[in-house]
Chain A
Amino acid sequence: METKRLVFVGVGGQGNLLASRLLGEAALAAGIPVVVSEIHGMAQRGGIVESAVLMGNVTSPIVSGAEADVLIGFEPIETLRAMGKCSADSLVITNLSPLPPFTVSIGQGKYPKVEEALELIQKKVKKKVIALNGSALAAEAGNPLSLNMVMLGALIGSGAVPITPEDMKKTIAASTKKAFLESNIKAFDLGMAGAR
């Protein structure tokens, strides 16, 4: 199959590592060669968390600058910051709900307007940017922590990876606690719908 290079960025606690791992599980189950790479480090302390999923005929576990087929950003300015992973041909999927870093509250820097950030992102790539209010959709699904499911839903909904919604949901179901299953699946569906 064609090689797919995906980059996930977010903030510690948003669950993007889990999203990339689940995508890896789903790929493995579908018989697609896959490597996932994550940097754990000090993620829990509110830093930036980046992970990568590479599928197909590729053995390198990371994605260099300009080489991402898809960038999935869980936070608008983190999407913007990670745009260096993209070329004009990349697909960008981004959450629009801001999570200002504490440097902003102590007066070291300004958080840009979300609309301006989005405009900048749109200007840089040819494909239509998938932008959704992921945090609101997660809340609508009944669990604010299901943002990662919304984002996974948007990715699968975009059709950018050869994994069916059914297969993805099976993987999600197999690794979700019963109490969260319903909200996770709902979040996933809302994300899928948001990508259309």
Chain B
Amino acid sequence: MHKLLTDAPGKKMLLLGNEAIARGALEAGLSFATCYPGTPSSEIPEQFLHISQETDLYFEYSTNEKVALEVGAGAAACGLRTMVTMKHVGLNVAADPLMTLAYVGVKGGMVIVNADDPSLFSSQNEQDNRYYARLSGLPMLEPTTVQEMKDATVAAFDLSEELGLPVILRTTTRLNHIRGGVELGKLPPRKTKGTFKKDPFNLVTVPAVSRKLHQVLLEKYDRALEKSEQWPYNQLTGKGKWGIVANGVSVNYVRDAVVDLGIADKVTLLKLGFSWPLPKALMTRFLKQVDKVLVVEELEPIMENELKALAQENGITIPIKGKGVGGLSRLFEYDPGLVRKSVAEYFGIDYKAPAMVEMSDLPPLPGRPPNLCAGCPHRATFYAVKQVFGNEAVYPTDIGCYTLGVLPPISMADYLICMGSSVSSGCGFAEGTDQKTVSFIGDSTFFHSGITGLVNAVHNNHKFTLVILDNGTTAMTGHQPHPGVQANLMGLDRTRVSIENVVRGCGVQDVHVVKPFKIKKTIEALQAARDYDGLSVVISDEFCPLFAKATKQFKRGKVFTVNQEKCKNHRDCINKLACPAMFVEEEKVRIDENMCIGCSVCAQVCPENAIVPVK
């Protein structure tokens, strides 16, 4: 049995923040869940996938976040409790339905989990999605601990049903990926089918309907505001004249700072867990009882600005500051030391930070960036493409493990903005320059948002080469399925959509399917694609070895070794491939036999035929 199905109210379990959210959803009677995976949100749907195999919970990995939200909207319109999860940039993709779903509302409770990524641990930007609550008019909750991640999720479903609006639960990477003790609640029975009642004049957003619905949304805002005023996670603690306001994970840093600095009796802490609409009455009460306010919030000065506006409305002139105090900036995540120092500075407390050991005498340490795995088929494809297109071609890339192709010695990533941008920006490069353009996109990303770009390329006669790196899985976020996977390998009953058929169906004339570990044939296909006067697509088809191992598809080939007699030590293998199984010892190239998976690519690359299978 899945551990989150443990039916033992009162029991304490160490849960990952993301597991706590999944558990909260189950305690709220979740019936329906959808997502597109994205770090740091991916472990939430991972729980749902396993649980859906043991129970009647409906769960799907949808093709992208927009689709996930729309699928969820349909289920919620039938009265089902629904959760949709995504990372912050995923909400950009889902922004179109989000804005109007706010008008139409929901019948069954719907919680949209949005995971922001301050410090960009694994993202292309660090946008602050609290703005989305303001843009859409949807209520937003922000838990601060693992226990609250569970409890706030349960409460979010009730809130959503009461208001008839989706509720956004916003987390940050630090919260998604902490573990803490969580006290379990009851697991109620699940309602698996609802009923849809026709109501076109409230559900079909033609202009006349939407004009009315926009008013309805504003009325709901007033009710949401009342809820926010009474929300148990909006808390005022302490009675001091120094005011501190914080949200999310920063609340913990502030609490610890206040204790460490010994100023608990001087401080009033306002913790805001319902971050839109903000509880104006509570905030005004706070402003009236303090002399000076410090706002501790990661990323944008949102609460800070709202507090300033509120103070102005009430004729309060006390100093209110946030960004710019101590180390509190709009960049990156905060940490306890930084918050402690900033609090001390703002309130004029004598504080000496603990002294770090001397770091200036360290020798330069070699970097350890992440790297494509040993035997990763992407490395073979990159190698072959470079042989044909050289260093001069423009290489738009996309989001997945293959983004690591940006690092030397591969160095084949020239442009990236978002999911699917390799294909559409490739259209622009093809027209904007006479340099050859080769775009890279992974299989999951192709389904997510590569197809529309491809149709555009066909229709507008753009001439470039698109390489689809099809490794049979969504590798980077932890091997989730996508429409092109062989779902039976994962024990799932899903229909496979063939990438080749999609590509041909979009109207591409020049299509090649290659096996990247066969270097010579792959190069020949790429040469044909390069010489084709039009749009070519090369599908490079080989399992991600980690996925192959996990699904027992992996047939270990013979591992390889360097025949030191034949090796001329020019290091072509390392300089062109740099498989992490290779290393240099006593000035000789060697292969770590425990890491090598026997893909044989290095043996094909070595001009001396010095790399040979171990007998």
In the docked arrangement, what's the CA distance between A31 and B362, Å?
A: 40
Q: Which residues of B contact A45 (CB under 8 A)?
A: 370-373, 401, 404
Q: Do B368 and A112 touch across chains, with their CB atoms under 8 A apart? A: no
Q: Chain B contact residues: over half helix, strand or loop, or mixed?
A: loop
Known A64-B336, A106-B574, A109-B366: A84·B40 in contact at CB below 8 Å: no
Q: Do A60 and B256 touch across chains, with their CB atoms under 8 A apart? A: yes
Minimum Cβ distance to chain B for residue A58 (Å)? 6
Q: Do B546 and A124 touch across chains, with their CB atoms under 8 A apart? A: no
Q: Which residues of B contact A65 (CB under 8 A)?
A: 337, 356
A120 interface hit (Cβ, 8 Å): yes
Q: Do B356 and A34 touch across chains, with their CB atoms under 8 A apart? A: no
The interface centre, meaning the residue of A36, A67, A106, A112 with most chain B CB atoms within 10 A of its CB, is A106
Q: Which residues of A contact B315 (CB under 8 A)?
A: none
B386 interface hit (Cβ, 8 Å): no
The interface centre, meaning the residue of A25, A84, A103, A116 with most chain B CB atoms within 10 A of its CB, is A103
Nearest opposing residue in chain B for A57, CB measure: B259
Minimum Cβ distance to chain B for residue A22 (Å)? 10
Q: Which residues of B contact A88 (CB under 8 A)?
A: 355, 357
In the docked arrangement, what's the CA distance between A59 and B175, Å?
A: 12
Residues of chain B from 499 to 544 with CB closer than 8 A to chain A in the complex: none
Q: How large is the interface on A (under 10, 10 to 19, 20 to 34, 35 or more residues)?
A: 35 or more
CB < 8 Å neighbour of A103 from B39, B369, B476: B369
A147 interface hit (Cβ, 8 Å): no
Nearest opposing residue in chain B for A81, CB measure: B365
Residues of chain A from 2 to 50 with CB closer than 8 A to chain B in the complex: 11-12, 21, 24-25, 28, 33-48
Minimum Cβ distance to chain A for residue B255 (Å)? 5
Q: Do A21 and B179 touch across chains, with their CB atoms under 8 A apart? A: yes
Residues of chain B from 307 to 359 with CB closer than 8 A to chain A in the complex: 335-338, 353-359
Known A28-B14, A87-B354, A88-B355: A77·B122 in contact at CB below 8 Å: no
A142 interface hit (Cβ, 8 Å): no
B34 interface hit (Cβ, 8 Å): no
B582 interface hit (Cβ, 8 Å): yes
B51 interface hit (Cβ, 8 Å): no
A83 interface hit (Cβ, 8 Å): yes
In the docked arrangement, what's the CA distance between A60 and B335, Å?
A: 8
A159 interface hit (Cβ, 8 Å): no
B367 interface hit (Cβ, 8 Å): yes
Q: Which residues of B contact A58 (CB under 8 A)?
A: 256
Q: Which residues of B contact A24 (CB under 8 A)?
A: 14, 179
Q: Do A106 and B408 touch across chains, with their CB atoms under 8 A apart? A: yes
Nearest opposing residue in chain B for A32, CB measure: B181
In the docked arrangement, what's the CA distance between A11 and B582, Å?
A: 17
Q: Which residues of B contact A25 (CB under 8 A)?
A: 14
B252 interface hit (Cβ, 8 Å): yes
A130 interface hit (Cβ, 8 Å): no
Q: Do A41 and B121 touch across chains, with their CB atoms under 8 A apart? A: yes
CB < 8 Å neighbour of A102 from B13, B146, B580: B580
Q: Do B369 and A47 touch across chains, with their CB atoms under 8 A apart? A: yes
Q: Do B39 and A40 touch across chains, with their CB atoms under 8 A apart? A: yes
Q: Do B370 and A47 touch across chains, with their CB atoms under 8 A apart? A: yes
Q: Do A62 and B336 touch across chains, with their CB atoms under 8 A apart? A: yes
Known A45-B373, A65-B337: A38·B177 in contact at CB below 8 Å: yes
In the docked arrangement, what's the CA distance between A24 and B368, Å?
A: 27
A189 interface hit (Cβ, 8 Å): no
A125 interface hit (Cβ, 8 Å): yes
In the docked arrangement, what's the CA distance between A123 and B365, Å?
A: 18
A80 interface hit (Cβ, 8 Å): yes
Nearest opposing residue in chain A for B250, CB measure: A60
Q: Do A78 and B336 touch across chains, with their CB atoms under 8 A apart? A: no
CB < 8 Å neighbour of B145 from A59, A67, A78, A116: A59
Residues of chain A from 69 to 94 with CB closer than 8 A to chain B in the complex: 77-78, 80-81, 83-84, 86-88, 90
In the docked arrangement, what's the CA distance between A87 and B181, Å?
A: 29
Q: Do A59 and B546 touch across chains, with their CB atoms under 8 A apart? A: no
Q: Do B582 and A67 touch across chains, with their CB atoms under 8 A apart? A: no
Query: Which residues on A are within 8 Å of B, measured CB to CB?
Result: 11-12, 21, 24-25, 28, 33-48, 57-67, 77-78, 80-81, 83-84, 86-88, 90, 100-106, 108-112, 116, 120, 124-125
Instruction: Contacts A62-B336, A109-B366, A120-B361 known; list 4 others, CB within 8 Å.
Output: A33-B181, A37-B179, A41-B39, A64-B337
What are the 8 A-B residue pairs with the smallest beta carbon separation, nearest first?
Answer: A64-B337, A109-B366, A47-B370, A45-B370, A66-B356, A42-B370, A124-B357, A101-B368
Enumerate 10 A-B pairs (CB-CB under 8 Å) in ascending A order: A39-B177, A42-B476, A45-B401, A47-B368, A60-B253, A60-B255, A60-B335, A63-B336, A102-B582, A109-B367
